[in-house]
Structure 1
Amino acid sequence: MSAQDTALPPLAVRERTATAARDRRAGEPVAVSLRGLTKAFGDKTVLDGVDLEIHRGEFVVLLGPSGTGKTTLLRLLTGLERPDAGKILVPGQRTTVYQEPRLIPSKRVLANVTVGQRRTAQNRERAARSLAEVNLESKARQWPATLSGGEAQRVALARALVREPELLLLDEPFAALDALTRLQMQDLVGDLVARHRPAVLLVTHDVDEAVRLADRVLILNEGRFAVDVDIDLARPRDRTDPESLRYRAAFLTELGVGRTASPTTT
């Protein structure tokens, strides 16, 4: 593969894409605003003055090598961590889907979707509609132990969306699934996000997943965003399309995949 094949699209193309993306975002409220966000653990600074805005309806994917602060950033957005410096503005209505579905074994599927909500007929009806959206309406009375991994993760997604979040945080939610189920879940999440239009931040190590789903890809490295690029490709996206392959190759190169490590690397 040539150097041209592993580069992002030409600067002029990226500028046109970014301009089009800014125009689309202009009519949407800002859901996430980070200014000068800094977080350290001991003498290791994992986030070093990070700035970020995510608009309502925008699907942002965060990539980066292990240990670069992706999970820390997610925990800061959920409120599980506090920054050492900087400002975080996030909506009150936010939910998180994790790699594990985290269902309560002693509650049936419908009750898992409504967990933490008042026991009202209206909430049960909303939960039933949410299960229908993830194609699990027939499983409402089942126990979590009877579900497949993909079905359990769909219940977790229904539980997140029934709360009508303004911000949906996804922490490698498909990592434990088999390849076919992962693709199906990616399609489902893409459809649901387009329908409900929350702001989305997906943390993943899967570059193909990023290219398939993202409106915008960030790569976090050494405490800062090494890449912040809009992806303006038609949907559904074909992973064999030359432009998809170009983005994939460029992101892998930025992540150091296929490159010879520097002698000073430890």
Structure 2
Amino acid sequence: MSLHSPLSPATPRLVPSGAAPPPVAVELGGLRRVFGERAVLDGIDLTLRRGEFVSLLGPSGTGKTTLLRILAGLDRADGGTVRVAEARSVVFQEPRLVPAKRVWQNVVIGHRPNAEARRLAGAALEEVGLSRHADAWPKTLSGGEAQRVALARALAREPSLLLLDEPFAALDALTRIRMHDLVAQLWRRHLPAVLLVTHDVDEAILLSDRVIVLSGGGIAFDTAVDLPRPRQRSDRAFGVLRARLLAELGVGSAEGHG
């Protein structure tokens, strides 16, 4: 039987060595999701804690986005248990802004449009460097700006869990690098648990504490990223981990991305 229940919200904090671990944001036990006769996810056990940044890799069709959608409450599980923090937000590959609402209204969509909502939107937009665009219409934004608005909207809810579904995939290379830096800064400031779905091995290593590879309906590989930040692609240890992850993904060379 599937159980989808909330975890208690908690205040993010840095925990010194020897102290109790941070609160759990995600706890999955034997998660299954079946489409037709195929179990896309088959027995997934996974725990994510507040302040942990985890990337999810895997070939297309291995259930990465399905898992993210279940955690977001947008899809159901067919078996196992799913416990997720109540405060969670999602950023998709497309910004999904409402064209008929101004930027600040998109940030606090669902809130009553009053002075407090405007203040909240302003603070979130300042964090992503878009204060001067608060009254702009979405159609006037660049792709990178629109995605920053989507990120501001997600963080304005102060989530315990931030779900990122390939949010940088449609951006040009330079904008993508800038978004990596921004997401890393915001993660360190707010300390949600982050689950990033990506096909880019380098992106996963640059951003994450931990990288998981899905294959055959389950977790085929799960490793900590024990590299000092900020990380450099030119570092030997970076290349070694890249090669291992590419091998787990069935790619025989350390060149290119997953």
TM superposition score normalised by structure 2? 0.90
Give every structure 1 segment of 4 or more consecutive aligned residues whose post-TM-superposition deviation is greater than 3 Å. 23-26
Change (3 A) 1:242 1:148: same
**5 Å matches for 1:33-48?**
33-48=27-42
Tell me the SS of whatever aligns to 1:152: helix
1:106 and 2:89 correspond: no
Q: How many residues of Structure 1 are paired with residues of Structure 2 in the alignment?
A: 239
Shift of 1:258: 2.6
Q: Output the CA distance in 2 between the equivalents of 1:27 and 1:87.
A: 22
Paired-residue identity, %:
61
Matched letter for residue 224 of structure 1: G
1:31, 1:91 within 8 Å by CA — same for their partners in 2? yes
Q: Output the CA distance in 1 between the equivalents of 2:61 and 2:162.
A: 22
Shift of 1:234: 1.1
Q: Output the CA distance in 1 between the equivalents of 2:251 and 2:196.
A: 21
Tell me the SS of whatever aligns to 1:71: helix
TM superposition score normalised by structure 1? 0.87
Change (3 A) 1:169 1:24: farther
1:74 and 2:68 correspond: yes
Tell me the SS of whatever aligns to 1:51: strand
Change (3 A) 1:25 1:193: farther
Tell me the SS of whatever aligns to 1:82: coil
Change (3 A) 1:228 1:240: same
2:89, 2:163 within 8 Å by CA — same for their partners in 1? yes
From 83, 88, 93, the equivalent of 2:87 is: 93
Match of 2:43 in 1: 49
Matched letter for residue 189 of structure 1: V
Between 210-219 and 249-258, the greater mean CA deviation after superposition: 249-258
Q: Output the CA distance in 2 between the equivalents of 1:25 and 1:250.
A: 32
Match of 1:122 in 2: 116
Shift of 1:219: 0.1
Shift of 1:224: 0.8
Match of 1:15 in 2: none
Matched letter for residue 103 of structure 1: L
Q: Output the CA distance in 2 between the equivalents of 1:161 and 1:102.
A: 15
1:25, 1:55 within 8 Å by CA — same for their partners in 2? no
Match of 1:152 in 2: 146
Matched letter for residue 255 of structure 1: L
Greater relative contact order (CA < 8 Å, ≥ 6 in sequence): 1
Matched letter for residue 107 of structure 2: V
Change (3 A) 1:25 1:158: farther
Change (3 A) 1:24 1:209: farther
**5 Å matches for 1:1-266?**
26-258=20-252
Higher-Rg member (1/2): 1
Q: Output the CA distance in 1 between the equivalents of 2:183 and 2:18.
A: 20
Q: Output the CA distance in 2 between the equivalents of 1:157 and 1:26.
A: 30
Tell me the SS of whatever aligns to 2:32: strand
2:105, 2:113 within 8 Å by CA — same for their partners in 1? no
Q: Output the CA distance in 2 between the equivalents of 1:224 and 1:139.
A: 43
Unaligned runs of 5+ in 1: 1-20, 260-266
Shift of 1:24: 8.2
Q: Output the CA distance in 2 between the equivalents of 1:238 and 1:26.
A: 32
Shift of 1:26: 4.5
Shift of 1:80: 1.5
Q: Output the CA distance in 2 between the equivalents of 1:25 and 1:36.
A: 29
Q: Output the CA distance in 2 between the equivalents of 1:161 and 1:26.
A: 26
Shift of 1:257: 1.4
Structure with greater helix percent: 1
